[in-house]
Structure 1
Amino acid sequence: MKSVRVVVVGAGVVGFSTAVCISEAFPSCSVTLVADSFSPHTTSDGAAGIMYAAEFPDIPLERQRCWFKDSSDHLLAIAQSQHSPDAGVILSSGCQLFKEVPANLKPFWSEFVIGFRLMTDEELKRFPEYKFGRAFTTAKCECSSYLPWLEKRFKKAGGLVEKRKVNSLQELSHFDLIVNCSGLGSKTLVGDTQVHPVRGQILKVEAPWLKHFIRDADGKTYIFPGIHSVILGGTRQEGDWRLQVDRGDAESILERCSRLEPSLRKAKVLSEWVGLRPGRRNLRLEREVVRLQDRRVPVVHNYGHGGFGVTLAWGTALDAVGLVRQCLNEIPLQAKL
């Protein structure tokens, strides 16, 4: 008896999360993950990986709350388990700073992090440029450990991994169901003109004395202590395809972060990294049917997370499982036999 053949395109945090959720939810399906880049060569590998979110403008807030809650539950459970060191998921405490008081004092995700509160005037004295702050503890996920851990979990559930570039959905016409988690690759793979690069550059430094994260709410300046190093960022350059390190950006990052945390002027730079986030006005999580080689093949799309891939990956993966279930119920019986 031949099982339904499912293919997931993309090996970043969204692709592997989705592949794991599908393979564990439907053990009778044959699930293959196909990608041309794997860890440590994915955009996810450079992500700061700290759990907080911004709102997508045209997606119901309740759906975004579900994505955040499901991801948060998943990562916090790992952080507080014996899997934490292998998976690279830890708890991290710190603050988010605003130069102007935001309209919304409590964001939609505030109830799902630990100990969310508004900072006191006394605490803000440390940051004279800022008028408002939020303090909380949340999960931090280091994808250089987390992606290999997810890959092992996927293979344990019977998943298959294939390294090759997919140029067109036509190349996948022998599968019964396609799940597209190709991120920025969706621009060419499915001709999505709405997805665009958002260039991010970071530095990794040695500063073991720093224990708490600090993030400017504009998303361009942040200090995130991790397991082996501290990530300093960053840039959010829309429509910029450059993958080489920019010296001017590196100097700007160091200067901005040192204003927040003067001790960083003594930190040793370990490495520099550039990645292209899959920017999109709204994350795309939906299904459609496409015609491939005279067959109608269902496709589930899950991409366009921007800078919130790690934050929303597990929640959107579980949502994608629901769409996959709908597709499986509609696949003709002969495909299942």
Structure 2
Amino acid sequence: MTAKELKKFPQHQFGQAFTTLKCDCPPYLLWLEKRLKENGGQVQARKIEDLWELHSDYDIIVNCSGIGSRKLVGDLEIHPIRGQVLKVHAPWVKHFIRDGDGLTYIYPGIHIVTLGGTRQKDDWNLSPDPSTSKNIFDRCCSLEPSLQRAQDIKVRVGLRPSRSAVRLQKEILFRGNEQLLVVHNYGHSGGGFSTHQGTAREATQLVKEYIGTLEMSRFKAKL
């Protein structure tokens, strides 16, 4: 940042300015769902307690259950990183601002501005904490004082599905003489929208490997 730009942040000695992309997640998810349906995919909503419940309906299961994998497949390595943010109406804010360690940030979207945030390891609490909200608002206002006049402030809480590394691998589960082909793709923490296309391609390749194995087995059975 130039000396002139840094004057806006007197509590900081240096900074960086750059142009990047931001994904507005809710409409993007709707677009992905629409694209899936247009290409023959189906969306079903149901609760399962065990991957074997899907065995009779599908040859291959792709497990993208995030934090749910702790219970669904017994992966105790995955854990929540609690995040609390504020969603505010401040249309005059046009630039992203992120403080040193990334804990304090101001991200304008299409309709709202996101103010953050928290990173609370192993915290499963989904209830908003008023003191945390005040702390977030105060921190963001110190970077952008005009946020004091922001309106329609809403609080959002979520759990980032964190792990030492994304689990992206094949696993064959056995039950008696039966087997269940699984591809795991979860544990992206707060970087899901940054890495999802890449890991999805990797998971697709693993599915194709399974399909090749199934086709070969069926061919041998016919022989």
Instruction: Provide TM-score, normalisation by structure 2.
Output: 0.91
2:48 counterpart (148, 158, 166) = 166
Match of 1:268 in 2: 151
Match of 2:85 in 1: 202
Counterpart contact for 1:195–1:280, Cα < 8 Å: yes
Gaps of 5+ in 1: 1-118
Match of 2:15 in 1: 133
Counterpart contact for 2:82–2:122, Cα < 8 Å: yes
Counterpart contact for 1:215–1:222, Cα < 8 Å: yes
Separation in 1, partners of 2:197, 2:121: 25
CA offset digits 1:137-180 (Å, max 9, x no partner): 22211221111111111011111111111211111112211101
1:181 corresponds to 2:53: no
Q: Identity rate of aligned residues, in percent? A: 53
Superposition pairs of residues 46-125 of structure 1, within 5 angstroms: 119-125=1-7
1:294 counterpart (171, 177, 183) = 177
Q: Are the structure 2 counterparts of residues 207 and 315 from structure 1 closer, same or farther at C-alpha, using a change threshold of 3 Å? A: same
Higher relative contact order (CA 8 A, sep 6+): 1
Q: Are the structure 2 counterparts of residues 293 and 143 from structure 1 closer, same or farther at C-alpha, using a change threshold of 3 Å? A: farther
One-letter code aligned to 1:311: S
CA offset digits 1:106-125 (Å, max 9, x no partner): xxxxxxxxxxxxx3344333
Higher Rg of the two aligned structures: 2
Deviates more, 1:140-149 or 1:221-230: 140-149
1:143 corresponds to 2:25: yes
Separation in 1, partners of 2:162, 2:172: 24
Report how far residue 210 of structure 1 moved. 0.6
Report how far residue 128 of structure 1 moved. 2.9
Separation in 1, partners of 2:69, 2:187: 9
Counterpart contact for 1:213–1:222, Cα < 8 Å: yes
Instruction: Provide TM-score, normalisation by structure 1.
Output: 0.62
CA offset digits 1:254-309 (Å, max 9, x no partner): 00000110111111133211111101111111112111463222211111111111
Separation in 1, partners of 2:209, 2:16: 40
Aligned residues: 219
Superposition RMSD in Å: 2.0
Gaps of 5+ in 2: none
